[in-house]
Amino acid sequence: MIDRGRIGYTTPPSAVTIDAWRVQLFCRATGETDPSAWSPHAVVPPTFLKAMETEHYSSAALLTLLDVPLHGVLHAEQSFDHHAPVRIGDELQIERRIERIEDKKDGALTFITVDTNYRLAARLAARSRQVILVRNRLPST
């Protein structure tokens, strides 16, 4: 049983700078061919912010905090809302919050909802939501 006391846990915000190489590696890995993505102050691809979370506090680290083994965990949902363009060279303030932990199917499955805020100079530039699916009855290895 995952500790419900962690609902509402918010990571201490940290600042992360978006380096060009990081965006270019992401574009190469995803086959991004939009030529503007390769310019020096390019707006980052719509799902790139997820990669920046790992520089702050990764979902794997959040699962460790919750004492959930990575084994058997799947990604159930993901969304991004972009309020202002985020570009190469920008410094983002990131914070993540555990919004919900809910059991389904008599506890066979647990859904963990994590919201992430990305701010540029104190202004909300984007927000994402990740729902992680934990399969509790998977045979252990």
Partner 1 sequence: MTFPVRLTLRCGPVSAVDLALFAAASGDHNPLHLDAEVARSAGFERPVVHGMLTMAYAARLFTQSFGAARVRSLQTRFVGVALLGDTIELEATLQRTEAGDAHYALRAYTTAGTELAAGTAQVAAAMP
Residues that bind partner 1 (CB under 8 A): 22, 25-26, 28-34, 36-37, 42-47, 50-51, 53-55, 58-60, 70-82, 84-85, 138, 141
Nearest-approach distance from CB 66 to partner 1, in angstroms:
15
Taking the complex as a whole, how short is the minimal distance between the CB of residue 63 and partner 1, in angstroms? 10
Choice between 56 and 119, CB closer to partner 1: 56
Q: Closest CB to partner 1 among 2 and 73? A: 73
Residue 79, Cβ density class (10 Å: 0-12 exposed, 13-18 middle, ≥19 buried): exposed
Whole-number minimum distance, CB 51 to partner 1, in Å?
5
Q: Which two tokens stand for residue 90?
A: 């920008």
CA dihedral 47, 83, 56, 60 (to 10 degrees): -50
What is the nearest approach in angstroms of partner 1 to the Cβ of residue 103?
19
Q: What is the DSSP letter of 87?
A: B
> What is the four-CA torsion angle of 36, 13, 77, 27, rounded to 10 degrees?
20
CB nearer to partner 1: pick between 4 and 133: 133
